[in-house]
Chain A
Amino acid sequence: MQTTSKKGNAFTNNPIVRAIGLQRIVVVLAVILEAVLFSILSPAFRQYATVVSILDYSYYISFMAIGVTFCLISGGNDLSVGTGMICYALAGGYLVQQCGWPVWAGMLVTIAIGLCFGVLNGAMVAIMNLPPFIATLCTMLITRGLGSIITGGMAVSWPSRKGVGGWFRSLFKIIGTGNGLPKGTIIPVGFAIVLLSIVIMSVVLNKSKVGRYIIAIGSNKEAARLSGVNVVKYQMMAYIISGFFAGLAGIAYAATFSSSVAPGTGAGLELDAIGGAIIGGTSMTGGSGSIIGTLLGVFVMSLLKTGLPYVGLQANWQQIITGIVLIVAIYIDVLKNKRTA
């Protein structure tokens, strides 16, 4: 009964399959399947431009999702990343646009505010013992309101590509101007930043004390406490990491979504991130998850978002399909937990 690892058939017991993880293989197949399906159904989808827009969309979701993964593994959740990300980008952009701060300073502020809200979320969950779902739901409201207040309800434009400080857009996407690179060529360098973050945070999760203790807390908080782990500190760390990455997501959002950042938006985006994490195999009940899985899950989500319009399914259908995909992912998680319980 207890030795579940001995179960399974020849395929699931295959050493290669076990090393990579069945879930990850399924998710990779899902990504490929989606891509193939959309390509067959829509000629317009089969373009480099589509790849670029999928990537543009994936950057900020990936960052949010990396952070949220830590919260989920710790046994919590962070619903504030979506509106938070917009709020931080608004604040940073406001300083650049209205107060003439240099772009790098605006970026630092964006991340700094993200960190502050991470500390706030962490304190509410770890010190005040509020339920994570409720605590971060409240910060979701707060950041949404705060974003509007900071800018006086106006949308904020971070510098355009050609304007002063427009270089920051090239951090995520280089567009050729004719000298050196052929005019109009697009290199999605943001993907490199995402990959780098994935590698670093995978190491943090699996090889550092912070990651180890976050897993321990998510698995059995009381046991971690009795083993002498400072559970308050490390539970807070999960939310601080999430806040940091929400800040990074804000910058990515401002850089890749060309026009402007509007207050009042962002609600619902956290579901893309949380959904990505869960599709990628992170457990809703804490204790297990992987960063690479999260990246794959994000691609399932962003392929859906970008691809569905090509096959004629507009926003409303997208939401319905996203909802269904999430139900399936969470159900798989529930089944997994039942097996190991």
Chain B
Amino acid sequence: MGEVILTMKGIDKSFPGVHALDHVDLEVRKGEVHALMGENGAGKSTLMKVLTGIYTKDSGTITYEGREVEFHNPREAQEAGIVIVHQELNMMNHLTVAQNIFIGREFMKGKLIDDARMNEEARKLFDQLGIDINPAEKMGNLTVGKQQMCEIAKAISHEAKVIIFDEPSAALTEAEIEELFKIIRDLRAKQLGIVYISHRMDEIKVITDRVTVMRDGGYVGTLITEQCTKDDIINMMVGRVIYEDPKTHSMVAPDAPVVLKVEHLNAGKMVRDVSFELRKGEILGFSGLMGAGRTETARALFGADPKESGDIYINGTRVDIRSPEDAVRNGIGYLSEDRKRYGIVVGKTVAENSTMASLKDFLSGLFINKKKENEVTQKYVDRLQTKTPGIDQLVVNLSGGNQQKVVIAKWLVKNCDILIFDEPTRGIDVGAKSEIYHLMNELAAEGKSIIMISSEMTEILRMSDRIVVMCEGRKTAEIDIAEATQENIMHAATLR
């Protein structure tokens, strides 16, 4: 670790109804990876947006390279050498990879843009980073993980002195995360200051030098990663102790009836002849690498994508699910992995989103019974401990993790018997994560059946009663939790 390059002191920022940052401090040194941690809504993203000129601070000082600075827009920050990889992807799908990377600072030949040169520079950049992406490909044709790598390459190409990664790993595969860490280590060796935001404890221990923890918009403290344990960090984050209790045996009664039976489901390349059963009160984990076809299976089952063939039985009777509407009528709820696109309407309030799937139950005559809507919404806000200034807050203003809780509330309000949780804790902090786990266990105990798709091995092993492993569109294994190990799951996930 070298000298201090960036100091934020006493940063304060309020939004209407939310005191998002309350005198927060942060110090970044050259050649360090500095983790910024905190529960959902703690204010991590907001602090970084203040730094990069997207929001203006109410008070506090930012000292950068020995001078006090204030950036008014992201461009000024960029020019000074501070760049950010945002939590949400910010890509222009209609432009090519190279055009995206160099947007705002194109190479010119006279008055014209020199696309050939940009492709060349992008290729050099990728070679240097060891990424294999064609710079002339349209961004919209890449997988989410690849898009994220482009976003990272774009940040690095700025000749930055400080780079902020806001949950970069959420959409990456294990292999891609390895690549990312290699890149980050290189950057550290080049004496850059790096801020790394993530909810994954393991990553923090592996890649970071120091940790700053925030809680409820306030500064809690800064630790040296090597000298602290996971539990130290968690305690600082949540102010209480969380126990982890992995499952050792199935909690499902041996005579529990089969509520859902899927036979020989085919839908496109990604779902080939998939069959499985789900029992009452069971949590069925779906494991596999990214692109294994788990989400596609869930979407086909839910009627969101067309099926080619296959039968679905609910409580023993064959049902015909052609649309999400059919699925919901049959008591199936689906929590999408991509909540921005399918899960919530960001321009609507918490209350409106919570009751969206079950509006019928909230009608008095022709009109929506606001009182009932508010009561029920409040109940689930309390139960899930969603952090929101009120149920009338627009969902767009909630932090990522709290948006996820609103989606969960939506299906709980609907009272579905079969719930499909697709990456339920992606981008969710440890505290909220254990709340969601607790909640899923509770739901299962109440007799609801859950399909949980997850790319996190620890999550699969902790939550599932039984595990279905998929690889390239096919089911490659079905393992009871008592026999499941990291090794046999990984083996099945990479069979082809």
Residues of A within 8 A of B (CB): 1-5, 203, 207-209, 212-213, 215-216, 218-220, 222-229, 287-288, 340
CB distance from B207 to the nearest CB of A (A): 25
Residue on A nearest B49 in the bound complex, by CB: A226
CB distance from A218 to the nearest CB of B (A): 7
Question: Closest Cβ of chain A: how far from B335's Cβ, in Å?
Answer: 19
Out of B73, B94, B137, name the residue touching A228 (CB < 8 Å). B73
User: Is B263's beta carbon under 8 Å from chain A?
Assistant: no
Q: Assuming A219-B93, A223-B91, A229-B104, is B140 touching A212 (CB within 8 A)?
A: no
Which of these, A2, A209, A220, contacts B142 with CB under 8 Å? A2
**Residues on B with beta carbons closer than 8 Å to the beta carbon of A3:** 141-143
Q: What sequence of 0s and 1s flags, for each residue 85-104 of chain B, a beta carbon within 8 Å of any chain A beta carbon?
A: 01000111111000100011
Do residues B138 and A220 form an inter-chain contact, with CB atoms below 8 A?
A: no
Chain B nearest CB from A136 CB (Å) reads 23
Chain B residues with CB under 8 Å of A216's CB are: 92, 95, 103
Contacts A209-B106, A228-B78, A229-B104; A219 near B138 (Cβ below 8 A): no
The interface centre, meaning the residue of B112, B137, B142 with most chain A CB atoms within 10 A of its CB, is: B112
Contact call A287/B93, Cβ cutoff below 8 A:
yes
B113 to chain A, nearest CB (A): 5
Contact call A224/B141, Cβ cutoff below 8 A: no
CB closest chain-B residue, reference A218: B94
Other A-B pairs, 5, CB within 8 Å; known A2-B142, A207-B112, A228-B73: A209-B106, A215-B94, A216-B103, A225-B74, A229-B103
Contact residues in B for A226 (Cβ distance below 8 Å) = 54, 74, 86, 90
B270 contacts the other chain (CB 8 A): yes
Quote the shortest CB–CB distance from B410 to chain A (angstroms): 22
B75 at interface (Cβ–Cβ under 8 A)? Answer: yes
A219 partner residues in chain B, CB cutoff 8 A: 92-95
A109 to nearest B CB, angstroms? 28
**What string of 1s and 0s marks CB contacts (under 8 Å) between B441-479 and chain A?**
000000000000000000000000000000000000000
Chain B nearest CB, measured from A222 CB (Å): 7
Residues on A with C-beta less than 8 A from B108 are 209
B108-136 near A? 1/0 per residue, CB < 8 Å: 10011101000000000000000000000
Indicate which residue in A218, A223, A229, A340 contacts B140 across the interface (CB closer than 8 Å).
A340
Which A residues are in CB contact (< 8 Å) with B113? Answer: 207-209, 212
11 A-B pairs, CB-CB below 8 angstroms?
A1-B296, A2-B143, A207-B113, A212-B106, A213-B103, A216-B92, A219-B94, A219-B95, A220-B91, A229-B103, A229-B104
Shortest CB–CB separation between residue B269 and chain A, in angstroms?
8
Q: How far is B144's CA from A208's CA once the two chains are assembled, in angstroms?
A: 29
Among A5, A222, A225, the residue within 8 A (CB) of B138 is A5
The range of chain B's interface size is 20 to 34
A227 contacts B90, CB within 8 Å?
yes
Sorted nearest first, the 8 A-B pairs with minimum C-beta distance are: A228-B75, A287-B94, A223-B90, A219-B92, A219-B94, A228-B104, A207-B112, A227-B103
Q: For residue B142, which residues in chain A have a CB less than 8 angstroms away from its CB?
A: 2-3
Chain A residue numbers with a CB within 8 Å of B111 are: 208
Name B's A-contacting residues (CB within 8 A): 54, 73-75, 78, 86, 90-95, 99, 103-106, 108, 111-113, 115, 137-138, 140-144, 268, 270, 296
Given contacts A1-B296, A208-B111, A208-B112, contact A215 B95 (CB under 8 A): yes
| A227 CB contact (under 8 Å) in B74, B94, B268, B270 | B74
The CA of A223 and the CA of B85, in the complex, are separated in Å by 11
Determine the residue in chain B with the shortest Cβ distance to A289.
B94
Inter-subunit contact B74/A5 (CB<8 Å): no
The chain B residue with its CB closest to the CB of A230 is B75
Instruction: Check A228–B74 contact: CB distance below 8 A.
Output: yes
Inter-subunit contact B78/A220 (CB<8 Å): no
Contacts of A1 in B (CB 8 A): 268, 270, 296
B99 proximity list for chain A (CB < 8 A): 212
Q: Tell me the complex Cα distance, A3–B270, Å.
A: 13
Least distance between B339 CB and chain A CB atoms (Å): 16
Q: How far is the CA of A340 from the CA of B141 in the complex (A)?
A: 8
Contact B141 A4 (CB under 8 A): yes
Q: How far is the CA of A22 from the CA of B74 in the complex (A)?
A: 39
CB-CB under 8 A from A225, the residues of chain B are: 74
Distance in angstroms from A49 CB to nearest chain B CB is 41
For B75, the chain A residues whose CB sits under 8 A away are 228
Residues in chain A near residue B86, CB distance under 8 A: 226
Complexed CA–CA distance, A3 and B137 (Å): 10
Of all chain A residues, which has the CB nearest B92?
A219
With A and B bound together, what is the CA distance between A218 and B111 in angstroms?
22
CB closest residue in chain B, given A5: B141
Residues of A within 8 A of B112 (CB): 203, 207-208
Which A-chain residue is minimally distant from B142 (CB atoms)? A2
Residue of A nearest to B143 (CB): A2
* Chain A residue nearest to B77 in the complex (CB): A228
Q: Nearest CB to that of A286 among chain B residues?
A: B94
In the complex formed, the residue of A with least CB distance to B113 is A207
Residues of chain A within 8 A (CB-CB) of B105 are 228
Which of A4, A212, A215, A218 has the most chain B CB within a 10 Å cutoff? A212
Q: Are B92 and A287 in contact (CB under 8 A)?
A: yes
Q: A215 touching B93 by the CB < 8 A rule?
A: no
Instruction: Give min CB distance, A186 to chain B, whole Å.
Output: 37
**In the complex, chain B residues whose CB is within 8 Å of the CB of A227:** 74, 90, 103-104
Which residues in A have their C-beta under 8 angstroms from that of B91? 220, 223
Rounded to whole angstroms, the CA-CA distance of A5 and B144 in the bound complex is 15
Residues of B within 8 A of A209 (CB): 106, 108, 113
Which residues does chain A contribute within 8 Å of B74, judged by CB atoms?
225-228
Q: How far, in whole Å, are A209 and B118 apart by their CA atoms in the complex?
A: 14
> Which chain B positions have C-beta within 8 A of A2?
141-144
* Alpha-carbon distance A2/B95, docked complex (angstroms): 15
Report the minimal beta-carbon distance from A128 to chain B, rounded to whole angstroms.
Answer: 19
Query: Which residues of B lie under 8 Å from residue A222 when comparing CB positions?
Result: 90
Residues of the A chain whose Cβ atoms lie less than 8 Å from the Cβ of B90: 220, 222-223, 226-227
Kindly list chain A residues whose C-beta atoms are within 8 Å of the C-beta of B93: 219-220, 287, 340
Between A208, A224, A228, the greatest number of chain B beta carbons within 10 A of the residue's beta carbon is seen for A228
Rounded to whole Å, the gap between the CB of A127 and the closest CB of chain B is 16
A220/B92 in contact, CB under 8 A: yes
B91's nearest neighbour on chain A, judged by CB, is A223
CB neighbours (8 Å) of A213 from chain B are 103
Q: How many Å lie between the Cα of A219 and that of B268 in the bound state?
A: 28
A208 to B143, CA, bound (A): 28
Q: How many Å from the CB of A193 to the closest CB on chain B?
A: 22
* Closest A residue to B112 using CB positions: A207
Measured between alpha carbons, how far is A226 from B54 in the docked complex, in Å? 8
- The docked-state distance in angstroms from the alpha carbon of A5 to that of B78 is 33
Q: Considering the chains assembled together, what is the distance between the CA atoms of A1 and B143 in angstroms?
A: 8
Q: Which residues of B are found within 8 Å of A223, using beta-carbon distances?
A: 90-92
Q: How far is the CA of A225 from the CA of B73 in the complex (A)?
A: 9
A229 to chain B, nearest CB (A): 5
Q: How far is the CB of A288 from chain B (nearest CB, A)?
A: 5
Please measure, in the bound complex, the distance between the C-alpha atom of A156 and the C-alpha atom of B332, giving whole angstroms: 67
User: In the complex, what distance in Å separates the CA atom of A165 from the CA atom of B140?
Assistant: 53
Residues on the A chain within 8 Å of B296, using CB? 1
Minimum CB–CB distance for A203 against chain B, Å = 7
Q: Which residue of B lies closest to A73 (CB)?
A: B94
